[in-house]
Amino acid sequence: MTFNTFGHMFRFTTWGESHGEAIGCVVDGVPPLIPLSEKDIQPYLDKRRPAQSRHTTQRKETDTVKILSGVFEGKTTGTPISLIIYNEDQKSKDYGEIKDSFRPGHADYTYMMKYGIRDYRGGGRSSARETAMRVAAGAIARKILGSSITIRGAMVQMGDDATAKRDWAQVPKNAFWCPDSATAKCWEKSLDTIRKEGSSIGAVVEIVAEGVPVGLGAPIYKKLDSDLASAMMSINAVKGVEIGDGFAAAARPASRRPLCCQAHQLDFNAS
């Protein structure tokens, strides 16, 4: 089965546990002659890197990616591209207590029930660390798509506090990737309070793709909406996905909707 594989023509298989020696992926279906080096992938991993502010997990990792195959003289060759990131923050510690308990809301219990064994040093495969390899594979996909398609993302809601502002230039300037600098400041204070209470809080992320060609994707079970929803929901902790108007569409009579929903803009939300 292809549990650890995502995609159709372009497909990647990820491997590695959060506290193992390394994590990696094999990207198959990349067209030949695409210029590619680690420099095309690393910036996306740097954005994702934890411990850049006090608001995220404090695990220290440089997440330096290395291409092991599929690229020759600076170009893809059409053969599988193997990527690897060595784990640095694997400090041996006493797992005595963790070993015998399950963290609420995590997949530990499910893995134990399903496989009869679990890597108690951390989330193993179900750790958010697995998403680093999606980011790396995504960076290659980004190169293939070219510059006619733009894809932007931002965090637009924390807890029940949503912002309607979309000042994309602000996104990389605050710790929350928020498109509204004022809101980002509020969130900073709120989150400090929540963290002091020993708690955490949910968020909504919005992604906007522009320049998407009409007819991209495949019909029925592999349609773009379906693949996007599947991808989003496979990220740990994601519990909802909306495309276009999403749930708001349910509340509006059809006559008040725009007559022509063109395919060149695609918005979707994942919480």
According to CB under 8 A, which residues from 151 to 170 bind a copy of itself?
157-160
* Stretch touching a copy of itself by CB under 8 A, among 37-45, 48-56, 171-179, 190-198: 190-198
C-alpha span between 184 and 155 (Å, rounded):
10
Q: Could you tell me the smallest distance in angstroms from the CB atom of residue 245 to a copy of itself? A: 6
Q: Which of 127, 136, 269 is nearest to 207 (CA)?
A: 269
Residue the block writes with tokens 């599929």: 70
Of the pair 74, 146, the CB lying nearest a copy of itself is at 74
Of the pair 171, 241, the CB lying nearest a copy of itself is at 241
Tokens of 244: 């276009």
53-92: contacts with a copy of itself (CB under 8 A): 68-70, 72, 75, 77-82, 84
How many chain residues interact with a copy of itself (CB under 8 A)?
108
Tokens of 207: 């992604």
Tell how strand 265-270 and strand 22-28 pair up: unpaired
Residue 43 touches a copy of itself, criterion: CB under 8 A: no
Residue 197 touches a copy of itself, criterion: CB under 8 A: yes
3-22: contacts with a copy of itself (CB under 8 A): 3-6, 8-9, 11, 13-17, 20-22
120-149: contacts with a copy of itself (CB under 8 A): 124-126, 130
Q: In sequence order, which residues have a C-beta less than 8 Å from that of residue 190 and are 6 or more positions away?
A: 158, 159, 161, 201
DSSP codes, 127-180 = SGGGHHHHHHHHHHHHHHH-TTSEEEEEEEEETTEE-----GGGGGGSTT--S-
Q: Could you tell me the smallest distance in angstroms from the CB atom of residue 185 to a copy of itself? A: 19
Residue the block writes with tokens 């991808």: 231
Residue 252 touches a copy of itself, criterion: CB under 8 A: yes
